[in-house]
Every structure is written in C-alpha cells, then in structure tokens.
Amino acid sequence: MSDLRALYQEVILDHSKRPRNFRALADSNRHAEGYNPLCGDRITVYVKLDGDRIVDIGFQGSGCAISTASASLLTETLKGKSRAEADELFAKFHDLVTGQGNGGVSLGKLAVFSGVSEFPVRVKCATLAWHTLKSALEGEEKTVSTE
C-alpha cells in the first residue's frame, strides 16, 4: 500500500465526509475549543460527564480530512469510557501517529491512523481533537492551540 493510501484509508475518508457525533450537545457539562493556526482548523468538543464517565460526546468545527476523521473516530471510541481510559487511549494514539509504540494493536478502529506516522506534518491534524478533549476534561476554558 502506498503511503498516500495508508494515510487516506477508506475509514478515514468515510469519517471525514460523514463525521459521526457532529453536533453540539445541549446537555454537555464540559467543552473546549481547539485551533491549529497552521491550517486554520477549528474544533469544539462537547462532553457530558457523569461522574468519571463520558456518557455522551460530540464535536463541531471545520478541518482537513485527517483532523475531522480523527475527531469523529474519537467520539465513537470514547462514548461510555472513563476518563482514565480516555487518557490511556490518547497516550497510545499519540504513540501510534508519531511512529512509536506497537502500531496500534490495542487501539481498535483508531489503528487506521497508523499511516500518519509517515507524514510528520500531519501529526497535529490527527491529535487536535484529542488535545481539545483533554482540555475539556480538565475543565480549561482557553482555546487549545497546536502551536
């Protein structure tokens, strides 16, 4: 598989064109904004936390295929997960897209982002939603920037 096909896998293209959970949650109790000034990507992640558990999650914004698909798959993956599980997945996801770790063995669907590691300038696109989620969970109000 060429590097390009590895980067833009069908699952990624599908999620970028039809992002899941692409909505503002009316009953969210956490949200944060993320911004990548390099490409102008903007995203808002909404979370409904019940105690330690993410019971609902959504996002809105505009971005490239990688950042949109990453946000979409993040919301699919994390619904129902605990904060600790979310932190652990982010660490593994970060390793995956930066070419460290074990190639995403325990990441399930998120493993489709393994191709990003061949495109270092796109790591910020893949991790924007994750950084924004982290900020939302930590209750920070300021916009997260990738720069």
Partner 1 sequence: MGITAQEVGRIRRADSGFDADRIRQDFPILTQTVHGKPLVYLDNAATTQKPRAVIEAEQQFYLRDNSNIHRGVHELSERATQAYESARRKAQKFLGAGHSREIIFVRGATEAINLVAQTFGRERTGPGDEILISAMEHHSNIVPWQILCEQNGARLRVAPINDRGELIWEEFRKLLGPRTRLVSVAHVSNALGTVNPVKEIVQAAHRLGVPVLVDGAQGAPHLRVDVEELNCDFYAFSGHKVYGPTGVGVLYGKAKLLEAMPPYQGGGDMISSVTFEKTTYNSPPYKFEAGTPNIAGVVALGAALDYVNDIGMEAIAAYEQELLVYATQRISQVPGLTIIGTAKEKTGVISFVMEGLHPHDVGTVLDQEGVAVRTGHHCAQPLMDRFKVPATTRASLALYNTRQDVDALLAGLNKVREVLG
Nearest approach in angstroms of CB 16 to partner 1 is 8
68, 12 in Cβ contact below 8 A?
no
Only one of the segments 50-58, 64-72, 88-96, 130-138 lies at the binding site for partner 1 (rule: CB under 8 A); that segment is 64-72
Could you say which of 49, 57, 125, 133 contacts partner 1 (CB under 8 A)? Answer: 125
Nearest approach in angstroms of CB 15 to partner 1 is 13
Instruction: Give the x-and-dash track for 26-45 against partner 1 (CB under 8 A).
Output: ------------xxxxx---
Instruction: Give the x-and-dash track for 89-108 against partner 1 (CB under 8 A).
Output: --------------------
Q: Which residues bind partner 1 (CB under 8 A)?
A: 2-5, 7-8, 13, 17, 38-42, 62-66, 68, 119, 122, 125
